[in-house]
Chain A
């Protein structure tokens, strides 16, 4: 079990003929993800050919519109690799086509565009993840996005994060200890985005196969604090947290558009204090996420259910 995506999920790529879209669609196909179509306006009606590492060839049909791609293929999820200038429009097209889930990888979308997008999504059924995110992976079943698939391992720990490479680091630490993941979700580093920590935590809480959660936050905004409040009153599963940016100076945008301490809010130390007050176990350093989780799983007596000792992975 997992959240959001699994082995049966049918996916289309918006921007499939662009270099980035092509590259990562091939990566998804290599992983076994069911990519059933692509969208590039003006290239509809053609096929795009992927040669995989094992020499196999996959052909993916290209459509002019998301609506057409959906009705022809039965896809429920769309992933977006469209440049930032056009990405907001692409998200809205996918929402209009009533895709169940839209994952937007694109970095650099103007924040006012995202405000429009979130207004447009009100009252509609689509869930959005991102933008400016690594994507979503249910290990062994479905990889959508730019994360390296092989560091993941199927299992029972949910991972949710605002970061990309720091998530890989955390996942790597879990896998190295034989602790697999149910699903890893990168919600992205932008200030206005789709799913927030709370939304993903709710899904993990309701997923019988997720037994514990790792939540990786950073400076800027108050999403971690809001999530912590929710965890305190609703979460039935143990959560380990990590917040990066203790050494970040105020007023500077630390790479991510959303990672900025402004007006005295969004500081790492405040977030950590808040999370701890809500019962979240904080990893004393980013290198100790795996260790901290392992200790907590032991304490809850669920270490054995979360560990696959047969398949401890070596880098």
Chain B
């Protein structure tokens, strides 16, 4: 260390309590402090700079301090600390130069030299962490005031050093949603259809999404997560994790949406190829998500499918599983990651774990109130890597925004673990030997967009709305070849491939005109997503008296009694027992649906409106019941049946009756649907007639007026 420090040390008042503890063996070059008061830390930072403004011995101390300071003080406080030191320089620094009057023009004045170092330190802060300045208005104003102070002393060289005007804008960090940058303008032609997508394209676009979500997470987000281990009030981190989970599940669903083992194997091979490209791009986070999806037990258990996967692909998959394995504290991954130069995206989860454990293991303050700087140095190693992307240039990919939009929505749609696993069981049922306690495999049934994963809350409706909008625009831009604002059946089928378990063409084509308009598509995707939101599970239940035998939507048991047998939802019309109504897992389908049914009932004079509703709701329920709910359901059902058997002989009788009733109701529904279509066409004719009539009348009026005139 230069002479400066030696001279500075005796300046400390001798009677103060412990202000600094030194490291015996520095963890990082130049970080010699073990713990100290904030003031001492700032002094040390200033003293890390030489008279020429360069770092002494390439000390890493300033970078650690500037990176980590928010762990124990605000940027504003740190900025003020520098200003304070600057202002008190005249008293604290002893200038040994004979006859010096300590003006900036005095060469060799030690006070001026110290002041210069303070400015060098602040300049280092500005150039290496510009994001602190752009996002923190308090800090900005402190430094501006500092500039005025320096200027008033007449030192323009110093003023130049702490100039903030060249700080780039970090506006994008404030936003939640991912917007296309200017570099993305030169769109290249890509297909939006999964089957036609090249693995490289897919990998690049996933990397682009990952990069955009990842670099938004700032120091404070990481710090808060390390301290609370909760995603509450941490939307950016949450978004990144949602992307991770979404991708992993999308992969599982894309595989499971295929009916034959060979088809499923083909999708797996494709995603393994995507994984290869991700590895080349050094995007470890997305790689983890893809490999996690591919090796998830919902896919790993598919013996028939796995038999169709070529051995080479299996080898690659093994290799990646090994690379990302949690064995030996992720040692394989850590080794490879540390060796990778240039652009790379770390596995967020692994490093979050390091942060949490470090924070748990080490106290923030030691020896009374000294800041535990060794902890900061240790944390900085992880945080440096995590925050690096914020200043890194865009990944070496060129993204097509249409594809980005399509992918983004694909990844927004969430399924529960249980639903995916059930689907897996349906595709390739367990052989009876291996399981005793498991529920019998369920027949193939369509899976609908459902609950979000525990912990990660869904994006707010506005975000989803925006994603839907972007995606639909993208689809129309690329697939509405004749630009008439509609998409044909064939075109739709191609797009639908990206969204496993999307409803059929007819469902989207709400007005049944054989074409899908933009509005129809948007409405569909938005409501599909809305179903995923928890609040849509809320029903508006009211006590109700039924005049026909009606069944509970949840436990499928009869609603007993003479009056007020059960509770009915005012919005969607489903019925439930009092004790079941809070357990209903079916979302509240829009009033529109129910209204439509009601209208149909009243028009058709059908025998029993409630029964129709009961049937259709029952069917919906069977689609949606999740495995764990089924357990509950069966229990209630059993209880109900034992109860019932006292009244009627045996359960089978009822079951048969129900089956018969189901059949009947199904027929009725079909009839009603036919009637509905007929009525709709009637309506069309009537509308036409009415319009013609009105036009005639208007013409007549016009003529009348004309003649009167």
A and B part of one assembly: no
On A, residues with C-beta under 8 Å from B are none
On B, residues with C-beta under 8 Å from A are none
